[in-house]
Structure 1
């Protein structure tokens, strides 16, 4: 059993500084500039006092904590003041700006966007969220653009996110002009562009993973849907720019070289070479610099092998990055990088000792990868689960199985990237070889991601997640236990049984429910009964859908019904591949033959999720049985709007709560259908009112007429819409008409999720928050 490592005072100061800066910087995001300045000055004053008292060496641990807290408050106050002072004078005035991208641009529903540094002719410089058009093309970190526009205050729903990135303004470059890349890193960025191009040109089906592993570029792997599989398998960190994967590569590489009896200088040189190659091919972004610094200082530099030197190096890295950029204290990349390295340095040896009773043949193949993965995930996994709103249940096993395959693929990708830049003529051969080296990893990820319940959606806030990590680390460090292998196996078996009970048995005991999920400006509804469940639409905000599914315990759906191809109804379909195993996707029958681009995209997404055999077209009269619910298609008869609003697949749900063969409750789901289509449904189906109405088109004015509202006379009207959305949904006209018809109106922008629980003679409504 290895000795318990001591906690160097410098690490105590660093962790306290980091925690205080993160909390204070978040708090100051809602306070004015003078408050931030006062906070910084107070923090500096108290830091001086704590430093003097610490120098006397009385109760050093306590004063280390207090010194770190005060320094963190000082950093947060100064950082918040600097962000406010830089941005506030520049908001509102139109001028010509030069934008330098701080990250690779990401494509979205309304075009590409990226964080960027904006600079005007007078030298003013501020960090902004830059919105670009859909035809922006591939823009990488370091790209320079020029555009005339006005900086705008960040919209309320994005203020917290942007503040955490050190920005509080947005800009919209409608017709930007590309500028020549300049500066000392321009040659490095050119090499990165060359490597990404070669890996994409010659990588074939593996192009995305090659670009991600070698260059930190995730555009291709996202567009292909492969990134969702890595997330589901708990391996997203392998294709991200973070120390989580660099630390694992370097640690495993060092262990392999050690097993081959390579001399220590050679091991350190090769590890440093791998990190350096990745840093260059990634274009030297700040996140990669953080990751490289964490790994090199904490895992490679302390050649003496003393954990105290590794911990001190890690502490210096944390303090430097937080002091230079206080917004880094709330950065996911810093937490994942530092957390992974800290977990490995502190606990990898302990976990490896737990596996010492394993047969010698399994020690090399299992003990080292399992210990490194468990130690890394101890700190990073709760935070990652909260950040991405999903918990990969196969994550530990996946990381152990993938460790050697990933190391092989990563090193091969880096070599291919370097060769492509240094010897372009050899690029095809080198890239093809690297692609072959990545095949086993890709096959493993695809297999794991397809397993039922490989990953489940969760709704966990970041603060509790960080506290959970801290509590687990503190408990392990204080207890420093040495359990028997049988105890570990028994504990794992009990945990697996509890998870199986929660995922596969508990849903059978839930009642008959319709749940309106809060996914912002979009639609997503769950109908479940008797252990079966169907999801109607997905919205287009992945994180919101995952959190809503997690809040409501939806871990799998028997079928997905997509009303139509608009992005706000099916844009997050890919999420289900990771967190809710889906056997079937149902669309309007016209979607299967409609030649328009939106319907073609919907068909491809559906086939990717459920396979070609799992996609079915529904016509009026077709029905799905969901426990005691029957979901019958009632519209459209034929496409008249190329899959648009008028062609929305509308479903009439009926519930036989007592099993006597008669419907006790009815609900009509209208997608984005408007009053003209809904009136025809009412006439054709002979509806004399419904109990629940999913109001069409998010409550737009055209969704209902006064006559139609009176004919449907819903007891409950469900409207799914985003807070302060730009469309003005729901309209006052629709609300007035529903109110006059006697409906109780429930809106996601006011109440969040809404659960309707049915029994034979009662309907119970539970909302996430009062509305």
Structure 2
């Protein structure tokens, strides 16, 4: 993937430069349009303003692009995996000012490492030693030090001991010049200022008012209102991203627009000018509370400005919030001076001013996406609305579909740079969510404002807000649960450009597939009979095709992809750096050995195999790369029991497995050497390890406690013999052979520990496999599989297949006629 090698900031700055130039062109058009149609500035001043704007655009573009050229392109340590000692890092004592709220997150597990709780704190370094500076950074705090950092409020001044390394992960730290790893608690230099203390009090009050709500709603409502996602469940956050509803928890222009609409009213109210193709979003009139109270234009603008500053303080000055606030302030300035409010002019002016004030915003995906979404709403939105209404769509539905589609069309190519996927449910999910956003936001803001006066009243308002917020949760969870909700897409700049081409092609083709009614042969309603029949047929075909893509029934998927092949006896799933093996019992039932590191990948593989029932799930040991995908295996499937090893280590991951099993009411049993089981007429197995009688010193550690199986697959006189060795290392492998009887020879071997160099070759010689399967992730940091192991297996006469190169692997045939099929695919994670 290009994202792994290219620096996405280069792509981001290029795209932002293009947006700036487009905005400048739009500003030119609207300024001249204003001069001609609204008796505004004289043409000479309009021309001068146009020239100045274009020049400023060029200067800002250059300023925004310049820092990007200096960015390092080499891979650096990321926040997900802080290291104890890095040769390129520098230890310093710095004075810094907290610039945002500390945010907790869970680092993705790698290999045997359990998930880690981390804290990230946006800050600005004010001084390094005797040198004054003003450098935005992100401070990473490990879990053991998080207690002293978690409750910090923006504007707090601190002194901290840190280790410095360049930040090369713009998706996580878009406006940070460096990543600082904190060591120990900070020393307070100055408390936060009064506005930030008041904002923190309001935010904590909203959280307290939501404490009694269900976990999903409790986590979502503060995020929806003020962008506080500290309690948003990880799986719900994933669901919002999969359905492209993540913008709801990233406070943006929509939130501010809802608040200002209460004050100013809608631009589409009677007597005002609606948004047109040129971006006119209102006239000098106003409605809302201001209109009802008869407030003057200047008073209304002053109140709107004060409300905007309060909004930014409470919701924090994130890039998308700043863009929305700047655009709104320019509109309020136009209101105060009695001039028309032009959307494109306000957007272009806001982008230019903010980038001149802070060129590092050119590195912010949030800022770019907010600008693009607004540009889409102001340009394509009105035209697409008119097009749909001309085709007899209801006005409200046409407006909603056009606005959502326009924002998606502008933003989707940029999101490819962040994650190479396209959400196929984004449009319907956004449409379903739209009616609930405004009520939930307004009721949430009401709870926020009322809490300092009355906590019971705030709780009551939070209960009311929980109803529409619960609907948003339902839409996100059900939308993301559809098998075809997300489509893998090429990554990097080529993938973004490909999506632009596809979007333009669809926009060109849509009018031809759904034309205006022909002027000839009209019926009594004014429509042509042929046109109506054609539209109905197209609508039915589109609905059937969309249902097939989203639901992906296994029978249809098998016809389309040829996977899994008929008669498969074993499947090794490509789930990244981990293990997951599937032994079929029937068409929709299988015994699963290990769950891999990622729930989405595990669920996707089982879904493609058509597995809905699992009589037994075996977790060979409690390392994250074998057990963390358990929720994905359980998702939508009936699981009879979970069998685990005899060693409860590591305890954290073991506790997570126990919790997941208890939540799903699934019994957990222990595996013992010598245990024999069957599942259906064609699958039986024996547990050949662990041995509770083996001294711990002979084979210590979770890897050597892995459950190892010797399975027989198939009926008749010619079944397959399969050995699954978990992550056994040489000490335990040697003990398996010593305690006999010899487990080999076998037809198929799942090589231990992802093909690492730690193998007991006496056991390998005894097994003498004909086919060796290695499950490992592409580009994994451990060097798996070892070239020495691959060479040794081939020397024993084995054919070696590996998931990092071959994708999913299916074993077919019998002992006499053994074969394998592979299924390459884009990464599922």
Q: TM-score, normalised by structure 2?
A: 0.67
Deviates most, 485-494 or 550-559: 550-559
Q: CA deviation at 1:112?
A: 0.8
In 2, Cα distance between equivalents of 1:221 and 1:259: 36
Q: Does residue 394 of structure 2 align to residue 405 of structure 1?
A: no
- Give the match for residue 164 of structure 2: 151
Q: Does residue 728 of structure 2 align to residue 697 of structure 1?
A: no
In 2, Cα distance between equivalents of 1:184 and 1:390: 43
Q: Deviations over 1:235-287 (max 9, x none)?
A: 23222344477668989999979579997342797998886665333222334
Q: Does residue 483 of structure 2 align to residue 494 of structure 1?
A: no
In 2, Cα distance between equivalents of 1:583 and 1:302: 61
**Given the alignment, which residue of 498, 506, 509 partners 2:557?**
506
Q: Does the 8 A contact of 1:525 with 1:536 survive in 2?
A: yes
Q: Does residue 337 of structure 2 align to residue 283 of structure 1?
A: no
Q: Does residue 98 of structure 2 align to residue 106 of structure 1?
A: no
Aligned CA distance change for structure 1 residues 169 and 718 (closer, same or farther; 3 Å): farther
In 1, Cα distance between equivalents of 2:175 and 2:495: 22
Q: Deviations over 1:311-357 (max 9, x none)?
A: 23223334445555555445331233123222222233334335537
- Give the match for residue 186 of structure 1: 196
Q: Deviations over 1:144-165 (max 9, x none)?
A: 65432432356xxxx3547972
Q: CA deviation at 1:755?
A: 4.4
Deviates most, 440-449 or 64-73: 64-73
Aligned CA distance change for structure 1 residues 557 and 649 (closer, same or farther; 3 Å): farther
In 2, Cα distance between equivalents of 1:191 and 1:574: 37
Secondary structure of the corresponding residue to residue 693 of structure 1: strand
Q: Does the 8 A contact of 1:564 with 1:649 survive in 2?
A: yes
Aligned CA distance change for structure 1 residues 114 and 477 (closer, same or farther; 3 Å): same
Q: CA deviation at 1:552?
A: 12
**Which structure has greater helix proportion?**
1
Secondary structure of the corresponding residue to residue 201 of structure 1: coil
Aligned CA distance change for structure 1 residues 729 and 168 (closer, same or farther; 3 Å): farther
In 2, Cα distance between equivalents of 1:125 and 1:163: 20
- Give the match for residue 266 of structure 1: 288
**Given the alignment, which residue of 182, 185, 191 partners 1:176?**
185
- Give the match for residue 671 of structure 1: 726
Q: Does the 8 A contact of 1:194 with 1:421 survive in 2?
A: no
Q: CA deviation at 1:185?
A: 5.8
Q: Does residue 668 of structure 2 align to residue 634 of structure 1?
A: no
In 1, Cα distance between equivalents of 2:57 and 2:319: 24
Q: Deviations over 1:335-386 (max 9, x none)?
A: 33123222222233334335537989x644x444333323322323454466
**Given the alignment, which residue of 216, 227, 231 partners 1:220?**
231
Q: CA deviation at 1:598?
A: 3.1
Aligned CA distance change for structure 1 residues 719 and 400 (closer, same or farther; 3 Å): closer
Q: CA deviation at 1:208?
A: 0.7
Q: CA deviation at 1:131?
A: 3.0
Q: Does residue 406 of structure 2 align to residue 375 of structure 1?
A: yes
- Give the match for residue 710 of structure 1: 765
Aligned CA distance change for structure 1 residues 592 and 151 (closer, same or farther; 3 Å): closer
Q: How does 1:473-484 map to 2 (within 5 A)?
A: 481=511, 483=515
In 2, Cα distance between equivalents of 1:677 and 1:102: 50
Q: Does residue 488 of structure 2 align to residue 441 of structure 1?
A: no
In 1, Cα distance between equivalents of 2:701 and 2:503: 53
- Give the match for residue 517 of structure 1: 574
- Give the match for residue 277 of structure 2: none
Q: Does the 8 A contact of 2:598 with 2:628 survive in 1?
A: yes
Q: TM-score, normalised by structure 1?
A: 0.71
Q: Does the 8 A contact of 1:201 with 1:207 survive in 2?
A: yes
Aligned CA distance change for structure 1 residues 687 and 65 (closer, same or farther; 3 Å): farther
Q: Does the 8 A contact of 2:100 with 2:121 survive in 1?
A: yes
Q: CA deviation at 1:212?
A: 1.0
Q: CA deviation at 1:707?
A: 1.5
Q: CA deviation at 1:617?
A: 5.6
Aligned CA distance change for structure 1 residues 82 and 676 (closer, same or farther; 3 Å): closer
In 2, Cα distance between equivalents of 1:273 and 1:635: 72
**Given the alignment, which residue of 204, 228, 240 partners 2:250?**
240
In 1, Cα distance between equivalents of 2:597 and 2:538: 39
Count of residues in Structure 1 that have an aligned counterpart in Structure 2: 695
Q: Does the 8 A contact of 2:9 with 2:68 survive in 1?
A: no
Q: Deviations over 1:101-151 (max 9, x none)?
A: 656323222331426444523224544453322241435673665432432
In 2, Cα distance between equivalents of 1:549 and 1:436: 30
- Give the match for residue 525 of structure 2: none
Which has the larger Rg? 2
Aligned CA distance change for structure 1 residues 643 and 163 (closer, same or farther; 3 Å): closer
Listed as ranges, the gaps of 5+ residues in structure 1 are 1-20, 30-39, 41-46, 56-60
Q: CA deviation at 1:75?
A: 3.1
In 2, Cα distance between equivalents of 1:191 and 1:334: 27
Aligned CA distance change for structure 1 residues 221 and 134 (closer, same or farther; 3 Å): same
Secondary structure of the corresponding residue to residue 132 of structure 1: strand
In 2, Cα distance between equivalents of 1:199 and 1:291: 27
Q: Does the 8 A contact of 1:311 with 1:345 survive in 2?
A: yes
Q: Does the 8 A contact of 1:302 with 1:310 survive in 2?
A: no
Q: Deviations over 1:422-456 (max 9, x none)?
A: 65574444434433553343344445455x42623
Q: Does the 8 A contact of 1:253 with 1:407 survive in 2?
A: no
In 2, Cα distance between equivalents of 1:585 and 1:391: 35
In 1, Cα distance between equivalents of 2:336 and 2:747: 72
Secondary structure of the corresponding residue to residue 219 of structure 1: coil
Aligned CA distance change for structure 1 residues 128 and 686 (closer, same or farther; 3 Å): farther
- Give the match for residue 720 of structure 1: 776
- Give the match for residue 347 of structure 1: 380
Deviates most, 184-193 or 265-274: 265-274
Q: Does the 8 A contact of 1:298 with 1:311 survive in 2?
A: no
Q: Does residue 600 of structure 2 align to residue 600 of structure 1?
A: no
In 2, Cα distance between equivalents of 1:304 and 1:635: 83
Q: How does 1:117-128 map to 2 (within 5 A)?
A: 117=123, 118=125, 119-121=127-129, 122-124=131-133, 126-128=135-137
Q: Deviations over 1:8-60 (max 9, x none)?
A: xxxxxxxxxxxxx997835999xxxxxxxxxx9xxxxxx9xxx9xxx9xxxxx
In 2, Cα distance between equivalents of 1:218 and 1:540: 24
- Give the match for residue 523 of structure 2: none
Secondary structure of the corresponding residue to residue 130 of structure 1: strand
**Given the alignment, which residue of 491, 505, 523 partners 1:461?**
491
Aligned CA distance change for structure 1 residues 363 and 152 (closer, same or farther; 3 Å): closer
